[in-house]
Structure 1
Amino acid sequence: MRQQSRRSVLKLSGALLGSLAVGSNVVAAARTDRFIVETKNASVADLRRAGLDVAYDLSATGVAVVEGSESNLSSVTTAYAPDVEIHLETPAVNDAVPAGATDEPGYGIQWDKQSQQIPDVHDVTRGAGTRVAVIDSGVAADHPDLEAAVNEDLSRNFTADDFGSGVPAGGDHGTHVAGIIAGNDANGTGIVGSAPETEIVDCRVFSTAAGASFADILAAIVYSVEIGCDAANLSLGAYPVPRQEEGQFYGKVLNKTMTYANSQGTVLVISAGNDAADLQHDGSVISLPNEGAAALSISATGPKGFAFDAGDVEEGPESPAFYTNYGTNAIDLGAPGGDAYLPAIESHPNTWFYDLVYSTISVPEYDENGTYVDSTNSYGWKAGTSMAAPQVAAAVALVRSLDPDLNADQVKSRLKQTASVPDGYDKSYYGAGLLDPLAAVSE
């Protein structure tokens, strides 16, 4: 991974609820005891003197997160907004784990890795010497395909629960994402990850409830920068968020944080969202965090009919997924995220799900009090821009493993310049084009 002077490992904690989805209806619930504050006119010391507890000192980005009375906060500054919890809904096309299906062989059903020619990529590089943060629901560090990749010492739990890190306490989503990036292709079982020799840091920002704290996600981004991550994958988001009033404040704070990450060399790879929305022409709303400054915003592609005869609707892996957000200036790259021909769920119940992305999962178990107690490691299918983003995060690691001195903008430029829009498809779904990791590492 990148070496930077004066690096310090931050020991952070906070309060967070979590959920991730394919397709989302956003409900923002404002906290009344927790606030995101700009520190330009009110320093962290000022905030503490006002009787506030500082949950996160993110001074490098000009931001702090405090807990306490709003009246105390308003006595020292007006540049703040409440932390918010954003709730998401998941459609039925996600999380396909039919009975017995996880016993199927690995690479043979990984159309995403086949279409990206990942074995040929590995003849050039496997991502050694790089580090990727997975800001998500938790990564199962004991999964057979991930145990060699996860750095448990650096992994952090950013939630208020005490379930720790390196565990899928917020759900199996993060483990699925991590497998796409770094699944072990040398252990004779399971799946192939795009960058199996990169190091994964689990930054768990989801717990057992249904929403995600914006402040904790900001803190996880800053932490990823401070530990020298080459990329941070954020397969999460909220849409639609109003551009005005508090939405404008959240966008401003997010832009500061993301600009800081980019300046320090950490590439932020973010799912574009799953609402089939035209982000280019959606008026007074915005999708966050993928439309923030310096992000790589990733749309999803996928086949229809990979393992069954889809007839006239058959599509290749380069085809835009039915759910993906799009918009020429809102999307940077397209990448494999999975698709589905919805009528096939009934007509081909044993094969329709092969059009989704196959990766590692670890299903959490909770006791009667809702306390995380264990998880069961396995494999399964998911779809979404959530699955497309880690394909790109892995490509960042592959490029950096060959050219560690490239800055964040140069890495992004390499990925864009080697991508292309597939013939016959609309540029608005791809931005610069469809990710081509082999071209990126062969340039």
Structure 2
Amino acid sequence: MESYKMDRSTSRRNVLKIGGAAVGGLTVGSLSVGGSSVGRYLMKPKAGANLSRVTVEEELPEIEYIAVSGQEEDVKSTAIEYAPDPILDLDEPTVNSQVPADALDSVDEPLYELQWDKQDLSVPEAQTVTEGTGIRVAVIDSGIAADHPDLDNVNLELSENFSGDGLGVGYPYGGYHGTHVSGIIAANNNNETGVLGTAPGAELVDCRVFPYDEGAPFSVVLAAVLHSVEIDADIANMSLGGYAPRREYVDDGRYGKFYGEALNQSLTYANREGTLVVMSAGNSGADLQHDKQWISLPNEGAQGLSISATGPIGFEWGDPGLEEDFASPAFYTNYGTNAIDLGAPGGDADLETENPLWYLDLVLSTVAEFKRNEDGDITGGPSYSYGWAAGTSMAAPNVSGAAALVKANNPDYSPTQLKSALKQAASVPSGYDKRYYGSGYLNILDAL
């Protein structure tokens, strides 16, 4: 899908018409599964299997899977189990890269006044306890712009490009999504520039799985998770997800549950080795609890944290009060009592309003983009700025940043203990349905 850049004069109705996404017409930070890559398979090979007739594309020795390309009959003859390696597609969120001029006259971090998410989570108060120093967070996404003036904490030596495009790391080669996510987690809080990140003392690692305008095979995402473990990341953020084929046996002999097993093994390994994986729940407005036909990747994986999105309606629109408060479930978020672990700020939108300030209900963070020609070739940049986006893609990094603070304050916590601390501190907001929150709405101060 072609992404659409919004300026302040653009009405939401026009954005809805142009964006054309499946979630109420609004493109909101979702990553969804597209088709299966032709001739590429994820498989569990037989012991001593001769793989000479296939090409090994990705090795996942920690979970004893590999990804290969070749003829299906050759794959079938060497595999205990196998299935097509599904492609994760990045639908970039609607963004406004131009910050209103009148927002630039505040003190300290000048855009903090527009960060309703950090205000509601009491992030400045939490940072009097810890800023997350000594914690490492892997961002499995479209790339981090390490030269952004608000992102001076990216470890490029540990970063890795899994996309196969050969362009390296530390730049937004796959789009601005990963930079936006990274700013939510760890934008600088002491440079009097831009926005406030939750855990500015944390170290970010760029695990880029998306090339520009293309998808990422599921096996590549798993490889990035395993790399996060290898480099001793305390937390891995995956603001991506979508639906894979059926859970049950289908006519062509493949099992949808195969993907869930590979994912669960990866997340169990990460949890055992000390890495907590935080995942966006998805933006389809789907009831994950009762969907028995499809498996949602990766947020249905065990051991990680699956995060739904909340957001206000009416923040700084010029009228006193809010139509919906900060903890209100976003219209697009997936839900399900046992499928969601926590709710967190991801941004919301009133699809009917004509108020030109509607975008302030989204989440403000860092953005960076290259200039590109019609063929997608880089012609300049990247340029560095700030912009709004909404989605469970934005909710997950709010939890990753919180996890970094809790881990820094409790360095001996295992991923299970860290997950438990975040869930026990949360509570379901009064008047709202538990299905949207799991254990409840993120509460950083009580978790600390």
Matches within 5 A, 1:375-414: 375-414=382-421
Does residue 1:35 correspond to 2:41, yes or no?
yes
Does residue 1:55 correspond to 2:57, yes or no?
yes
Q: Between 360-369 and 187-196, report the one with greater CA deviation.
A: 360-369
Matches within 5 A, 1:84-103: 84-87=86-89, 94-97=94-97, 100=100
Paired residues of 2:86 and 2:244 also in contact (CA < 8 A): no
Paired residues of 2:241 and 2:297 also in contact (CA < 8 A): yes
Does residue 1:298 correspond to 2:307, yes or no?
yes
Does residue 1:165 correspond to 2:169, yes or no?
yes
Q: C-alpha separation between the residues in 2 aligned to 1:90 and 1:202?
A: 18
Task: Give the corresponding residue for 1:356.
Answer: 362
Match of 1:281, SS state, is coil
Task: Give the corresponding residue for 1:123.
Answer: 128
Does residue 1:186 correspond to 2:190, yes or no?
yes
Paired residues of 1:32 and 1:70 also in contact (CA < 8 A): no
Which of 436, 440, 445 lines up with 1:429 in the alignment?
Answer: 436
The verdict on how the C-alpha distance between 1:159 and 1:181 changes in structure 2, with shifts beyond 3 A counting, is same
Matches within 5 A, 1:135-174: 135-146=140-151, 148-174=152-178
The AA in structure 2 aligned to 1:342 is: L
Paired residues of 1:25 and 1:239 also in contact (CA < 8 A): no
TM-score normalised according to structure 2 size: 0.86
Paired residues of 1:241 and 1:288 also in contact (CA < 8 A): no
Task: Give the corresponding residue for 1:106.
Answer: 111
Matches within 5 A, 1:302-341: 302-308=311-317, 314-341=323-350
Which of 238, 252, 267 lines up with 2:276 in the alignment?
Answer: 267
Q: Between 248-257 and 122-131, report the one with greater CA deviation.
A: 248-257
Q: C-alpha separation between the residues in 2 aligned to 1:313 and 1:126?
A: 30
Task: Give the corresponding residue for 1:220.
Answer: 224
Matches within 5 A, 1:232-247: 232-239=236-243, 241-245=245-249, 246-247=255-256
The verdict on how the C-alpha distance between 1:103 and 1:312 changes in structure 2, with shifts beyond 3 A counting, is closer
Match of 2:83, SS state, is strand
* Alpha-carbon shift at residue 175 of structure 1 (Å): 0.2
* Alpha-carbon shift at residue 140 of structure 1 (Å): 0.2
Paired residues of 1:304 and 1:310 also in contact (CA < 8 A): no
* Alpha-carbon shift at residue 102 of structure 1 (Å): 9.4
* Alpha-carbon shift at residue 309 of structure 1 (Å): 5.3
Which of 415, 427, 432 lines up with 2:422 in the alignment?
Answer: 415
Does residue 1:68 correspond to 2:81, yes or no?
no
Once the two structures are superposed, what CA deviation does each residue of 1:214-268 show, in whole Å capped at 9, x if it has no partner? 1110110110111111111000101364212332111111111111111111111
TM-score normalised according to structure 1 size: 0.87
Which of 244, 249, 260 lines up with 1:251 in the alignment?
Answer: 260
Paired residues of 2:186 and 2:197 also in contact (CA < 8 A): yes
* Alpha-carbon shift at residue 69 of structure 1 (Å): 3.7
Paired residues of 2:31 and 2:282 also in contact (CA < 8 A): no
Q: C-alpha separation between the residues in 1 aligned to 2:289 and 2:203?
A: 35
> How many residues are aligned here?
412
Q: Which runs of 5+ in 2 are unaligned?
A: 1-25, 105-109, 250-254
Task: Give the corresponding residue for 2:377.
Answer: 371
Match of 2:79, SS state, is coil
Q: Which runs of 5+ in 1 are unaligned?
A: 1-19
The verdict on how the C-alpha distance between 1:72 and 1:286 changes in structure 2, with shifts beyond 3 A counting, is closer
